[in-house]
Structure formats: C-alpha cells, structure tokens
Chains A and B, each alone.
Chain A
C-alpha cells in the first residue's frame, strides 16, 4: 500500500482521503518510509519530523473519521518546508553553521497557513547556505534522475524529495531562480509567484526586493492548490499585496485555445544545448497544436540581466549579513562568504545603474505581456550538470533564464517538457502578467494533461546500494 502512495499527487491523495480509502497515517508512513530509505543518498531533508508528523497524522485521522470530514482540500496531507522558512519549535538552519542550534519561536506565515489548512509537516528540506552558497554541512542534494548530477539550488531538497517520492508537496524560496532551477533539473513543477503574492514573513532573507516564496509539486494542479492557501495579504509583511486571492484550481481545464504565447527573440533561445532546444521547440509545437498562438516578442535586455541582477542581489545580501560577516566570517562556507562579501564592493553609482537596468527590463517585460498572455522560455539552457562541476570553482550560471522575473516581479512557472537521451528532465518556463498566476497554471496544465513527462519516475532502486 505505502509504495503505491509515494507518487500520488496531492489531488489524488485528497480524493482517496475523501473516499476513506486511505488515512493520513498511511500517507505519512509512506512518505517517512521513503525518507528512511532514500534520504541518506539524496540529502533531501536536513531535519525529519517523524514523531511530530505521525502525531499530526493521527490527529487528522481522528478529525476526518470523526464525522466532520476534511476541513480543507489540504487537510491530512503532508508537506516538506525548505529549511529557510521559520518553523516554530523545529530547528531552522538555512544550512548554515551560524544557525545550527536555531529553533524559532514562530512559524513563517506560509508555514502557518498551510498548517492551519491541515497540512502535516514531514520535515525541513536541504538548501544551499542562506540560499546562495554551497551545501557543506548536511551534504549536497543529489538528483534522483542521476545520482552524479546536481539538483540545482537553492530549494534543492524540496525538488529532489518530490522527484524521489519523499513528499507529495513542498515549499521553496526563489531569489534568482531557486524554485524553478531545481524544479527543472528534477522534473517537477515550481512556481515563483508575483512579488507580493505570498508573504515572506518568517523567511530567512537573502534579498528583500527579490525574495519570493512559492509552491513546488509534481503536478500543476497541486501547485495551484497550494498557492490558493499560501497567497494573500499579511499584515506582518509590508510588501505583501492586498490583491484578492482566487481559487487557482478554478479554470485549470480551460485549455489554451486562443492563448497567445510570446517567444523572445533575444537571449532565451540562444546557445541552448541541442536536446533542450529540441524539447522546448517540440513543446511549443505541442501547445500550438492545442490551440495556442505563438508570437515573437522583443526583449533586447534579456541578455543583459546577469550583471545588474548580481549586483543588486549581493548588495542586498551584504546589507543583511554585514554584521554577522564581521563577527562570524569563519562560520560561513567559503563560496557563501565570498559571494555575499562581494556585495560590499559596488559603488552607489553602480547600484543606481543596475537599478536603471532593472526598471528598463521590467518595462520591456511588462510591454511584451500587454500583447501576449505569457512569455515562454526554456528554464535553463542545459539539463542538470554533475555535482563535481557544481563544487569546482564558479559553476554555470543557473539563473540564466530565471532571475529576469525576480527583477521584474512577474510570476514564473516551470514544468517538465521532456527528457534528454541520458534521461535528464528538461523544463519550460512561463512568465505572466502580475497576479495572473492562474493563466500560467492553465497553460501548463493544458500541456501536462496531454503529455506524459510528469508521469515518468526516476529508477531509484538503481541508485541505492
């Protein structure tokens, strides 16, 4: 029974709960058994909350079987939280030696909202140090599709736990692509919402103007379900928007007939690995076949975002970490310390010039999105590279196609659109209008329901000795 549950979606598990064909306890046991079996190999979780999860599951079972049924569509379902979200009474390390003994006295708002909806926390997932460095203390999260490959960062453990069936849902944070990159490398779905859509209260910050919190799951519908609960104004986060929150699962089946997809002329389709290029172009043709119309969009700044983005993120990160860097520099991993310290070295003129590029890019993207419903790009120009490449010097720029929408604040979703000959997932990114995550879900769901990629599973037994 339990093995059969490992790869069920949240939506399917919810139906099984409603039909009383399975209990929350069985679902949690299934996930914990997978964690027990695979976590050492994949380094998905930094902290596993086995006893607490079982207690929560038993409580949920009593509530559900006590005649009241499930109080929400997420009630009785498990979730994993990135270890950068504060969790009351549960150690939150951000994978840093500086926070090894850090046990928060409060939950991050998104953690609290999901718990109030009845979700059961399985544990805290691996991340790069402070969401921008390496994974030295708790191990490097490995890719379930190929153990020698990297998961991408920084929401690495959330992505590989989903791909390995160690959780049916997870949360992540995204400052330059940290949800979308590991989601793409691991063949799952991840959304960076509009800036302001989800409260960042209780998220250990990296860059106040570019940090986002979002859902990760194995299906588009599950991400939509999670966002419906995570989103909404939070008085504790002054940057959270007062925009109404729809039920993002409404209209998912509306299809893409008449939808206009913008294909950038510059940057995003240049220099792609041939297999990524083939997979993404096949996906574009597929969406055309489903009724979407493709239109070229002009984004001349698309190839000029890396420098300004790097300056702004690291300047903000340095602002947050300067005091601790002075006092505890040796407690930072080498790459983390160096990247954050680089933020101290730019002049105000350079910061201002980078901000001008940010404003100009944001206008370009917004103008394009006046004509099209979504901009469609590869999430990355290549599939997952090896852990050795990641460890050596400066690895490839994984934010190549994602940081653009952290700078502009537009919502952006990645979903699997194929595999390389070596069996590595390829991701496609959709970026949409502000607060129109619903359009991204609808387009991606139309693709997903008519393609097999989300049903493919890694051969984990071959990776476990």
Chain B
C-alpha cells in the first residue's frame, strides 16, 4: 500500500470498515506519520532476525539462474 487516502479507504472497505471523510483524513495522517517514523529508523540500528531454525533463505542470485521446468512447478522439492 502506498498509503494514499483512496487506497486506505479501499483497504478499509475491503475489511468491512466504513469511514467518513473526516475519519479518513485522520487515519491517513496517523498512518503516514508512523510510516515516516519507521522509515527514519537508521538502517544499521536494526539487526537481521536470528532464526532459530538455523537456516535462512539464500539471498537471490545477481542473475536469474536457469530453472528447470519441473523444479519451478514444485518449489519445495529438495533444495
């Protein structure tokens, strides 16, 4: 979501919440302020999560690798 008023109204409507124009103005302000504050958190201040499973999905390759058709169809198959 980009957070524009129309998009927020649509998302709320999708979830069954009807809002007035005044509601929408304040909700948009709150959401924009929190998003802006979250975006200001210094990137280096937040570490990657520790995953207790001992495995993280590998970073995507720089170039898309060739994927065989049967692998693509069964993404959980043995990798």
**Contacts from A to B (Cβ < 8 Å):** 300-301, 304, 306-308, 310-311, 314, 322, 325-326, 329, 334-335, 337-339, 341-342, 344-347, 350, 353-354, 356-357, 359-360, 394
CB 8 Å contact bits of B1-21 with A (1 = contact, 0 = none):
101000010011001111100
B22 at the interface (CB under 8 A from A): yes
B31→A345 contact, CB < 8 A: yes
Q: Report the bound CA distance from A34 to B77 in whole Å.
A: 73
B31 (CB) vs chain A CBs: closest residue: A345
- Tell me which of A326, A356, A357 contacts B17 (CB under 8 A): A326
Can you report 26 residue pairs joining A to B where beta carbons are below 8 Å apart?
A: A300-B45, A304-B45, A306-B34, A307-B33, A307-B36, A307-B37, A307-B41, A308-B38, A310-B34, A310-B37, A322-B17, A326-B15, A326-B16, A334-B22, A338-B27, A338-B30, A339-B30, A341-B12, A342-B34, A345-B27, A346-B35, A353-B41, A356-B47, A359-B49, A360-B47, A394-B29
Give chain A's interface secondary structure class. helix
B37 touches A306 (CB 8 A): yes
* CB of B46, distance to nearest CB on chain A (Å): 5
**In the complex where A334-B22, A357-B41 touch, is A341 in contact with B16 (Cβ < 8 A)?**
no
Q: Which residues of A contact B46 (CB under 8 A)?
A: 353, 356-357, 359-360
Whether A341 pairs with B41 at a CB distance below 8 angstroms is no
Structural contact, B23 and A337, CB atoms closer than 8 A: yes
Q: Does B42 lie within 8 Å of A300, measured CB to CB?
A: yes
Residues on A with C-beta less than 8 A from B47 are 356, 359-360
The A/B interface has a contact count, at CB < 8 Å, of 99
Known: A300-B42, A359-B46. 4 other contacts (CB 8 A): A307-B33, A326-B17, A345-B11, A357-B41
Q: How far is the CA of A80 from the CA of B39 in the complex (A)?
A: 42
Across the A-B interface, the 10 shortest Cβ-Cβ residue pairs: A307-B37, A307-B38, A342-B30, A338-B26, A310-B34, A326-B16, A304-B41, A307-B34, A360-B46, A356-B46
Q: Which of B23, B38, B39, B40 has the most CB of A within 10 A?
A: B38
A342 in complex: contacting residue of B22, B27, B38, CB < 8 Å: B27
Residues of B within 8 A of A334 (CB): 22-23, 26
In this complex, the interface size class of chain B, counting residues with CB under 8 Å from chain A, is 20 to 34
Q: Is the CB of B31 within 8 A of A360?
A: no
A329→B22 CA distance, assembly (Å): 14
The verdict on A344 contacting B11 (CB below 8 Å), with A337-B23, A356-B49 known, is: yes
B27 neighbours in A (Cβ, 8 Å): 338, 341-342, 345
Q: In this complex, which of B3, B36, B41 has the most chain A Cβ atoms within 10 angstroms of its Cβ?
A: B41
- Complex-state Cα separation, A311 to B19, whole angstroms: 19
* Complex CA distance for A301 and B37, rounded to whole angstroms: 12
Using a CB–CB cutoff of 8 Å, the interface residues on chain B facing chain A are 1, 3, 8, 11-12, 15-19, 22-23, 26-27, 29-31, 33-42, 45-47, 49
Q: How far apart are the CA atoms of A395 and B22 in the complex, in Å? A: 17
- Chain A neighbourhood of B35, CB < 8 A: 307, 346, 350
State in angstroms the CA–CA spacing of A277 and B37 once bound together. 25
Q: How far is the CB of A180 from chain B (nearest CB, A)?
A: 21
B41 contacts which chain A residues (CB < 8 A)? Answer: 301, 304, 307-308, 353, 357
A341 to B20, CA, bound (A): 12
- CB neighbours (8 Å) of A304 from chain B are 37, 40-42, 45
Please give, as numbers and ranges, the residues of chain B lying within 8 Å of A308 by CB-CB distance. Answer: 34, 37-38, 41
Query: Within the complex, what minimum Cβ distance (angstroms) separates B49 from chain A?
Result: 6
Indicate if the CB atoms of B40 and A329 lie closer than 8 Å.
no
Q: How far is the CB of B17 from chain A (nearest CB, A)?
A: 6
Give every chain B residue within 8 A of A344 (Cβ-Cβ): 11-12, 15, 17
Cβ B1 vs Cβ A353 within 8 A: no
Q: In the bound complex, what is the Cα–Cα distance between A227 and B61 (angstroms)?
A: 55
List of B residues within 8 angstroms of A339 by Cβ = 30
Q: Could you tell me the distance between the alpha carbons of A359 and B49 in the complex, rounded to whole angstroms?
A: 9
Residue from B3, B16, B49 in contact with A345 in the complex, judged by beta carbons closer than 8 Å: B3
Which residues from B are CB-within-8-Å of A310? 30, 33-34, 37
Q: Are B38 and A353 in contact (CB under 8 A)?
A: yes
A311: B residues at CB distance < 8 A: 34, 38
Residues of B with C-beta under 8 A to A314: 30, 34
Give the shortest distance, in Å, between B29 (CB) and chain A (any CB). 7
B12 — which chain A residues lie within 8 A by C-beta? 341, 344-345
Question: Chain B residues near A346 (CB, 8 Å)?
Answer: 31, 34-35
* Least distance between A159 CB and chain B CB atoms (Å): 26
Q: How far is the CA of A323 from the CA of B76 in the complex (A)?
A: 36
State in angstroms the CA–CA spacing of A74 and B13 once bound together.
51
Q: A307 CA to B3 CA in the complex, in Å?
A: 15
CA distance A260 to B48 in the complex (A): 32
Distance in angstroms between the alpha carbons of A350 and B12 in the assembled complex: 17
Contacts of B11 in A (CB 8 A): 344-345
Give the docked Cα–Cα distance between A346 and B37 (Å).
13
Contacts of A359 in B (CB 8 A): 46-47, 49
Chain B residues within an 8 Å CB radius of A350: 35, 38
Q: Which residues of B contact A301 (CB under 8 A)?
A: 41, 45
